[in-house]
Amino acid sequence: MRCHWTCFGVAVLVLFWATTLTADEAEDLYEEIRKAGDEKITQEGKSHEAYRDEAVKHFESIIDKCEQYKKRHPAGTDLAAVLYEQGKSYYYLSRFKEPRRELLAKGAELARKVIAMDRRTDAAGRSRGLLIQYCKMTGKNEELIEHAEAVVQDFPDSDFAPLALSYIAETYEGMGKEVEAVAAYERLTKTYEEHPYALRAAGILRFKKLKGTVMDLEFIASDGKEIKLSDYRGKVVVIAFWASWHEPCRSSAPVLVKIEKTMHDRGVRVIGISLDKDKDAMEKFAREIHMTWPQYFDGKKWENKIARHWGIRVIPARLLVDKSGKVCEVNPDDVQLQAAIRKLLDEPGP
C-alpha cells in the first residue's frame, strides 16, 4: 500500500514538473514572438529588393513561430496575444508579398478570433486596430465604424480611443454623411478635450463651419510684413493653403497667379499659407511662377500653426472671402473659384 502512494506521489511530481516545463517553454516562445513583433525593419542602406526580402523573411518567421505555439500550447495563457502577433504579421507581410488581399484576410480572421475569445483584453483591443486598418484598405466602412466604436466603448482610456473616434468621423466623411461626421468630431473634442486628435478635430470643425462667418487671420509674413485679414475689407480675398513640395499645389498655383494678375486692379488679393519646411525652396518657387502675394511660413509642414488651427488635412485648400470679410466658398475648384470671384466683384463693397 505504501508503495502505491509512493508511486502516486512520484507521478504527481513528474506531472507537475512536466506542466511547469511546458508553461516555461510556452512563455519563452511567446517572448520570442513578442520581441520579433516589436522589431522594426527599415530600408536604410538597402536596395528595395533586399529590404523586401528581409521583411518577408522576418514576418514569415514570426508566423511560423506563432504556428508552433498554437500546435504545442493550444491552451497557452498567451494564445490571444500570439494570435494577434500572427495577424499583425500577415497584415505587414501583405505590403511585400502577394496575394495581398488573401494575406490581409488571414490577418483579419485571426483578429476576429482574438476578439471572440475576450473582447476586453489588450490583445483584443490591438486586434480591433488591425481590423480597422483592414476595413479601411478594403472599403468595409460599416465594419470599420463598428470596430472603432467598440474600441471607444471597451477601451475609453486608451491612447487608441481618440484615434478610433477620428477614424469614425473620417469614414463618415468619405461616405458623404456629413451630419454623422460632425457629430463624431464633436464627440472627440468633448470627450478627450486636450488630446492632439481632439485639438485636430476642433480645427476641422472650425473649417467646416467657416462658410458665412467672418474669419480672423493675422500673421507676420515671410518678408516681415504684418498681415491682417481685416485690413482687406472691400477686397475679394483668396486664402490658399499650399506647399512647393506638393505636386498638385505646384500644378494649381499658376491659376492663382493668373487670377491675381488679371483681377488685381478690380480688387482681388491672394494670401498664402505655406506648409513648406524649406523657406528657400518656397521662395524660389514663388519667384519662378511670379507669386507676388504675402506668405505665412513657419517651417512646420503639416504642423503649420495656421493650418492646424483650421484643421487643414489636404492641400491645396482654398477659402474665398468676400468684401465684407465673410467666407463665402470653402475649397472651390478652379472653375468654381473663378466664377465665384466674378460674382463677388459685381457686388457692392461694405
Q: Is the pLDDT of residue 296 over 90?
A: yes
Q: Give the pLDDT score at 350.
A: 60
- Domain end (from 208, 230, 252): 208
Q: Give 183: exposed, middle or buried? Use CB within 10 Å, 0-12, 13-18, 19+.
A: middle
**Number of structural domains found in the chain:** 2
Whether 213 maps to a domain, the answer reads no
182 and 65 in one domain?
yes
Residue 316, preceding peptide bond in cis (omega within 30° of 0) = yes
pLDDT at position 5: 44
Residue 243 lies in a domain: yes
User: What is the percent of the chain where pLDDT is above 90?
Assistant: 87
User: Could you say which DSSP state residue 219 is in?
Assistant: E
CATH number, domain of 281, equals: 3.40.30.10
- What are the grid coordinates assigned to 270, written together? 491672394
On whether residue 276 sits in a domain, the answer given is yes
Contacts of 207 (CB under 8 A, 6+ apart): 310, 311, 312, 330
Is 90 exceeded by the pLDDT of residue 13? no
The owner of cell 504556428 is: 67
- Residues 54, 184: one domain? yes
Same domain as 226, residue 199 = no
- 306 and 251 assigned to the same domain: yes
Residue 170 resides in a domain: yes
**In a shared domain, residues 152 and 222:** no
d(CA 296, CA 323): 21
DSSP E strands in the chain: the ranges are 218-220, 226-228, 236-242, 268-274, 295-297, 317-321, 327-330
Residue after which a domain boundary falls, among 208, 230, 264: 208
pLDDT at 22: 72
State the residue range of the domain holding 96. 2-208
76-83 average pLDDT score:
95
Q: Are residues 169 and 296 in the same domain?
A: no
> Which residue, of 208, 231, 265, is where some domain finishes?
208
The pLDDT value given to residue 314: 92
CATH of residue 143: 1.25.40.10
